[in-house]
Amino acid sequence: MDLERELLKGNTPTLVLAVLREGPLHGYAIAREIERRSDQALRCKEGTLYPALHALEREGLIEGEWREENGRERKVYLLTPAGHAALVNRTQLWARFSTAIERVIGPEPDVLVERPGPRLSPGSRPEPAV
pLDDT tens digits, residue range 28-65? 999 999 999 999 988 888 888 999 999 999 999 999 99
Q: Residue 9 has what pLDDT? A: 72
Query: What is the pLDDT, as a whole number, of residue 104?
Result: 94
In a domain, 122, yes or no: no
19 sits in which H/E element? helix 2-20
**Residue 89 located in a structural domain:** yes
Number of folded domains that form the chain: 1
CATH classification at residue 9: 1.10.10.10
Listed in sequence order, the residues at least 6 apart from 15 whose beta carbon sits closer than 8 Å to its beta carbon are: 34, 42, 44
Closest CA to 31 of 57, 5, 12: 12
**Average of pLDDT values for 91-104?**
93
* Kind of pairing between the strands at 25-26 and 62-69: unpaired
The pTM of the full predicted model, rounded to 2 decimals, is 0.76
| Residue 98 is assigned to a structural domain of this protein | yes
Tell me whether residue 86 is in a domain.
yes
pLDDT bin (cut points 50, 70, 90) of residue 73 is: very high
Give the pLDDT score at 106: 86
Q: How far apart are CA 19 and CA 24, in angstroms?
A: 9
In a domain, 127, yes or no: no
DSSP state of 107: S
User: Range of 81's domain?
Assistant: 2-105
In-domain check, residue 70: yes
Nearest one of 69, 80, 77, 67 to 31, comparing CA atoms = 77
124 falls within a domain:
no
Q: Phi/psi of residue 99, each to 5°?
A: -65, -45
